[in-house]
Copies of this chain bind each other. A is one copy, B any other.
Amino acid sequence: MAATRLADLGEFGLIGRIRERFRAPEGVTGIGDDCAVIPQRSGSDTLVSTDMLIEGTHFLRADIPPYALGWKSAAVNISDIAAMGGSPTATFLSVALPAGLEAGWMEAFLRGYAELSERFGAALLGGDTTASPDRICINVAVLGECPSGSARLRSAAREGDLVCVTGCLGDSAAGLKAILEGVERDADVQALIDRHYLPLPRVEEGLRLAATPGVHAMMDISDGIGSDLGHILSASSGGWAAAAGAGKRPRSAAEMPRQQHPAALGAKIDPAKLPLSEELRRVCARFGWDAAALAAGGGEDYELLFTCTPEAEQALDVPHFVIGEMTEQGGLRGLEGLSGFDHFRKS
């Protein structure tokens, strides 16, 4: 029997299938109207984030199973809610698909998307389905909530804070490397590939961290710890570094915008403290890969990166690793030569 193609199913047939798969919670108007309608609760803040995944930039269709791509599309967005210390509530999925794509591909994609998002209580409440001339394009927008004023911002780091992560780093980057190099998939390699394909957002950890006084800045590790920690430094230093790419980094203190943290904060990371999984150590030893470089520069771990006072760290009931500290001296030290990921500068 020939596989169903999207051209046969039609746009509304596809929407109908998505709608059958995802039901809106009681009282919420989900898929099927111009907008979703979400009654608000007072006393809480709404969190929103969105991420786009493009075939050929973020994934290769021949490599990633559609189930994993669906899972990951939801996971990377829900991870952004976790990074604020919030609870995900709803997602909105846009997909542009080539007309010749097998419908089974999309079924598997939706299965992975649903399993991850249901695990974290995020309802699919809307989206858009359209045709793409060739590449698959995916965009997810996610909504979440947290008690008013409790969201953990990147700008909240302070001098003397410890820098911590919630789990091992580099597994995802090593998994990607294993996929691209086509190495034989024993149990260790498969574990790394699973970390790359099926990341688990740290929602519960984020909620507990955000409920802990003394936990200051927080974000998820998507681009690599060097690049991501740079965002915390710039945001906590008054935001000047955000314009650095446009050549606007101030040349003197007098040129810097006044903010809560007028001084340029720095951070010192001890590369020996980057937590590495046993699987990563063994695979790197076997293939001669640099585990520290993968851990520091690789990205897509979706662990939480946060800063907190030493007192708060002592009392934390969330598994974590201290990897460095925030310093008065500006700049990021300890990760020299290892950098994060810039989509437009990829070589």
Contacts and interface: CB of A to CB of B under 8 A. Distances in A.
A178 interface: no
Interface string A305-347: 0000000000000000000000000000000000000111110
Contact of A135 (B44, B46, B133): B133
Contacts of A219: 33-34
A159 B15 CA distance: 27
A39 B45 contact: yes
A251 interface: no
Copy count, this protein chain? 2
Contacts of A127: 50
Interface in A1-47: 6-7, 9-17, 19-20, 29, 32-42, 44-47
Interface stretch (A53-61, A160-168, A292-300): A53-61
Interface size class of A (residues with CB under 8 A): 35 or more
A11 B90 CA distance: 27
A220 interface: yes
Contacts of A248: 16
Given A20-B243, A39-B45, A151-B29, A11 B343 contact: yes
A183 B305 CA distance: 57
Question: What are the nearest 6 A-B pairs in CB distance?
Answer: A13-B245, A42-B42, A139-B139, A141-B141, A56-B133, A34-B80
